[in-house]
Each structure stands twice: as structure tokens, then as C-alpha cells.
Structure 1
Amino acid sequence: MKKIVLAGGTGFIGTYFEKNFKEMGYVVKIISRQKKHISWEDKAGIVEALENAEILINLAGRSVNCRYNETNKKEILDSRVRTTTLLGESILKCKNPPKIWVNSSTATIYRHAEDRPMTEEHGEIGSGFSVEVAKVWEKTFFNIKLPKTRKIALRIAIVLGPDGGVMVPYKNLTRFGLGGIQGTGNQKFSWIHVEDLFQIILFLKDREDLEGGFNCSSPGPVSNRELMQELRRVMNVPFGLPSPKWMLELGAVFIKTETELVLKSRWVLPERLEREGYVFKFGTLQDTLESIVNYKNV
């Protein structure tokens, strides 16, 4: 029996993974706060799920799509550290632990970059709350010593897919004529199609010689200006009103989010993945957006 464990696997990405792994013949165990799954409080149940599992994928963590007040910031950080620590402790209790543990991280760990792209070898770590969360999250993960389990941290860029994620608000903005640039429009938008994210995990599962951190983003990052232009083209919307920084800051207060999510320039390249031979299925934004927008017509 092939078994995989998805921690925090009830969101957009986790749902996609569950469907695909089941189609491959895996039994999928999910750890979450939902009653129908294994509870984070059920430590014995978590160990049982991990026992003899082929892969553990940890996607758990409170959403960063909120205002960064002290309460939310504490929950964002604690939710990542707490779940990662608990999973590590649970693996150590297994007689036959998972062969590989893939833990989420974020491409936001790098600095705001409009001058050059960030790679694993030459990327510069940024500063600020989001970066500190990423740094503590990765440190917690890599400090856990597991003699039988290979560990990989994926610095994931913004994930695009047909059934959720940021594409829902982006499509709505474009549909109602608000699909212009956000801020200056010069900030870089690093992204990855959810199918490539899934395939990367399969690729790393089979490459037993690989471990450590990987940038998980497409090789074709674009500017915000190019993103909105391409989205308008794919959706056949002739124009889009721009959203200057002051308007975004005002709107962010009302919808309880942070402008960093759209204004930070994330220019990230998957240098290590490509060097090791991974070939992206969705390497261009054009192919990605067309597959997403036309998904229900296929």
C-alpha cells in the first residue's frame, strides 16, 4: 500500500495534491483542523499516519492574507513552527518513517528585487516580518535531525491554478475593468503552476541524492505590468484601470490584507531544479494563464 501524508492539506494546493496522488494509487492521509481528518491534537494518530508512509508533505500554516497586527503575526509564525516541530517529533517515533519530508517555505524569503533575480546560491535574504517568518520556519525544519528521512524545503513562489489561489481575485479584478498595473507595475511576479509544483515533488521523491532548499518557481518571471497585460489578453478584456500604491494601501485596510502581497518584487529563479534536470511543464505565463482561464472548456 502506497501512502502519503498531507499536513495542512485542505487548501487549494492540498486539494489538488490529494486528487492527483489518489489517481496514482496512493492512500492519502490528511492532518488538519477539520474534524473529518487527523487532528493536530491526535499525536498518536499522526505517528500512525506517518508510519510506513512514502512521503510527508507539510503545507500547514495560517494564511498570510491578513493584516499584520501583533495577534495575526504571532499566529502566522507559531502555526508554522508548531506544526513543523510536531511533525519532526512524530517522525522520530516511527519505526519506518517517511523516506522524504517536503516542507513548505516561501520565495518571499528573498529581498525586494528589481535589479537582478534571486537564486539559491546567489540570492540575498531580505528583511521584515514575512522574511523573519520564513527564516525561522526553515531553521526549525533543518534543525530537526532525522537519520532515516531526507528533508527538502521548497521556497514556493505564488501558485497559480484553475480552482483557487490568487487567480480568483486577479480574474475578478480584470473582469470588472480593474486589471491594470498595481503600484508602479515594475515589481517582478514570480509564479508556478500548481501542476509543476506537484511534478517537482514527484521529481524530488525519485532523486534520492537531493536534499536541502529549492526555489520552486517557474523559469519565466514577469513584471506586474506584463502579468496584468497577459491576463487581460487571455480574458479578452480590452482595458484595465491601474491601482496606484495609495489606493492599494487604502483598499488593503478595508479587505484586511497587506499591500506587500502585490507590491513586493519577487524575482526568483529555479536554478537548482533546472540544473538537476527538472523540465517545467508550464514555463511561460501565457501557457499558464491560458490553461487556467480555459480550464472548464477543456
Structure 2
Amino acid sequence: MKSVLITGGTGLIGNHLSEKLLQQGYAVHLLSRQKNFSPQSYYQNKIKVFEWDLNKNYIDPNALENVNYVIHLAGASISKKWTTSYKNIILTSRIKSAELLINTIIKNNISIEKFIGASAIGYYGMKTDNKVYTEEDEKGNDFLANTCYQWEKAYTPLIQHQIPTAIVRIGLVLSPNGGIYKILKPIFQIGLGSPIGNGKQYMPWIHIDDLCNMIIHLMKNKEFRGIYNAVSDEILTNEEFSKKLAQSLNAPFFLPNIPEWILKIIFGEQYQMLTSGLKISNDKIKQTGFNFRFSQLDDALANLQKNNHSK
């Protein structure tokens, strides 16, 4: 039985991914900052949890024992208010955790078959235009773009030591259990949903099932290295996305757009994350033979509405 070590395994993506891996016959190790943490999962008795402490540069040495694959998802949420101190937490939680994990692997000559590192489509910048962005495009010039750039840069030692590595730039994750769908659903259900800003910003989304399948696909195939965008096929504006969400919930959709200036007052710098969005290409991952189950938003929303995320 092959083993997978996951950081950030208690989050939205990590929890879903852990269950998928266990169902496919993998052993799962999680790194947790909490001592004696017990995952809230049907499979919790099959998951081994190990402690790590970024402040003490400590990882339980048993965590990486006989591990074949490492998937690094850890990082503080970007949805909390961006105070100066919290922006530092967003950045350092990603960089320090990656550095500690990677240094431990290299220092101890731990042989792994593949390393999967998370990043985000924020790499391309908080802006809106009609260009289709690929993995070859340069980074943007704002807080999220710089965070993603440094996040990805932290993976460089793996490549230098010829450890097979793939980096996944994750889009807006749709899940019945958290994230943007869980936030918007109750608002739209009572008829209070509306486009954000001018509604013309793009929303590069991906169903959580497709995201986890994509990560496993990259993990199992050593030859697929480098950076991959994790977004689905259908490119939609915020207004189009909002209409489809309302339709999927059989909810009215008539309210005017939320003005950008109101969002700026409420969220400060963070408002740009809501009012901007780009067209992102997924051609590269499809060229590896990966097929999306939910390539159209209507299908993804129907699945979410059933609250029956397949494994």
C-alpha cells in the first residue's frame, strides 16, 4: 500500500482529497498543528495524524516514514479581512510551511515519487481583461500575485534536487461543504443574489471532485511536472455565474449589481478579489489525458445542489 502525506489535510480540499485517496487504497498521513487531532471523517480511523510546528521548525519524524507522495495544501485562508498583520500570516503560512516540509525531505534524503504543491490563479493578478492566461504568462503585480509567486518559488529546491514536482494553480473551488458555493447559496436561495461590481469579471471555477481527481492524476504520473491551472472548461462572467446559480436554486434574480464603491468601503484592498477575474486556460492539464467530469457549470451546480459529491 502506497502512502500519501498531506499538509492542510483538514481544510476543504484536503478533507475531500483524503477520502478519495483512502477509497483508492492509499494510506493517508496528515500533518496537523494540533496535538492529538482527530479528523472528522468517516475514515478517521484509517488516517494517521502527525504534529508539526512552524514556529519551532518541527515535523514529527514519523510523518514521512515510508511516504511515497507529498501533497502540500497548507496556508491561511485569504477570505479573512486583509489587515497588515493578516496579510503577513497569509504569506508566511504558505512560505514557512513549504520551506519546513521541503527542507525536511531534502535534509533527510527522503525518497518520494512525486510532490504536488498548491498555488492559486491569483498568480496572474487581480484584474480583468479578455486575454486567455496560460501557465507561461508572467505574474501579476499585487498582493495575491506576489504571494503566489513566492509560494511557487519555495518549491524550487525540489526541482533542483530532481524530485518530480507539479504545482497546481487552483481556481474558485465549488463544494457543497464550504467555499464560495456554501457562502452564496443561502443568499441566493432567498432571492438576494446579484452580480458583484459590473459583473463582467470572469470566475475561473472548478468542482472539488475534479480538483481532487486532477491532483491524484498528477500525483500518479511522475512524468507530468511543472505548473498546471486547475480550472474547468466553461468561462463565465460573474453575472453569468450568478444567473446560473439562481436558476439552479429556482430562485429569483432581479436585484441590481452591488456597486464597487460599497465593496471597497466594506473590504478595503480585498474588494479587488471580488471585482476582478481572468480567463484561465486548462489546455495543459487536458493534454496529459485528464478529463473533467464537470466541464459545464450547470452540471456542477446540479451536483452541488444534490449535495452528493462523488468520490
What is the TM-score when the length of structure 2 is the normalising length?
A: 0.88
Offset of 1:114 from its aligned partner?
Answer: 2.2
1:54 to 51, 59, 68: 68
Query: In 2, Cα distance between the equivalents of 1:51 and 1:43?
Result: 18
Q: Quote the sequence identity (%).
A: 29
Query: In 1, Cα distance between the equivalents of 2:97 and 2:82?
Result: 21
The 1:95–1:132 alpha-carbon spacing in structure 2 relative to 1, beyond 3 Å, is closer
The 1:224–1:3 alpha-carbon spacing in structure 2 relative to 1, beyond 3 Å, is same
Offset of 1:179 from its aligned partner?
Answer: 1.1
Structure-to-structure mapping, 1:261-272, within 5 angstroms:
261-272=273-284
Contact map agreement 2:113 2:222 (CA 8 A) in 1: no
2:259 to 237, 244, 251: 244
Structure 2 unaligned blocks of 5 or more = 38-48
Aligned AA (1:278): F
Contact map agreement 2:209 2:309 (CA 8 A) in 1: no
Aligned AA (1:236): N
Any idea what the Cα deviations from partners look like across 1:68-126, whole Å, max 9, x if unmatched?
221011111111110000111111244542211101001011132321110113x3421
Contact map agreement 2:158 2:164 (CA 8 A) in 1: no
Offset of 1:215 from its aligned partner?
Answer: 0.8
Match of 1:29, SS?
Answer: strand
Residue aligning to 2:134:
119
Offset of 1:273 from its aligned partner?
Answer: 0.6
1:39 to 26, 38, 51: 51
Contact map agreement 2:33 2:51 (CA 8 A) in 1: yes
Aligned AA (1:239): F
Structure 1 unaligned blocks of 5 or more = none
Is the aligned partner of 1:213 residue 2:227?
A: yes
Query: In 1, Cα distance between the equivalents of 2:275 and 2:254?
Result: 17
Aligned residue pairs, count: 294
Aligned AA (1:67): K
Contact map agreement 1:160 1:191 (CA 8 A) in 2: yes
Query: In 1, Cα distance between the equivalents of 2:20 and 2:288?
Result: 24
1:188 to 193, 202, 206: 202
Query: In 2, Cα distance between the equivalents of 1:30 and 1:297?
Result: 22
Any idea what the Cα deviations from partners look like across 1:130-161, whole Å, max 9, x if unmatched?
11101111111124456363111101101111
The 1:297–1:130 alpha-carbon spacing in structure 2 relative to 1, beyond 3 Å, is closer
What is the TM-score when the length of structure 1 is the normalising length?
A: 0.91
Over aligned residues, Cα RMSD in angstroms?
A: 2.1
Offset of 1:184 from its aligned partner?
Answer: 0.3
Query: In 1, Cα distance between the equivalents of 2:272 and 2:10?
Result: 25
Aligned AA (2:235): P
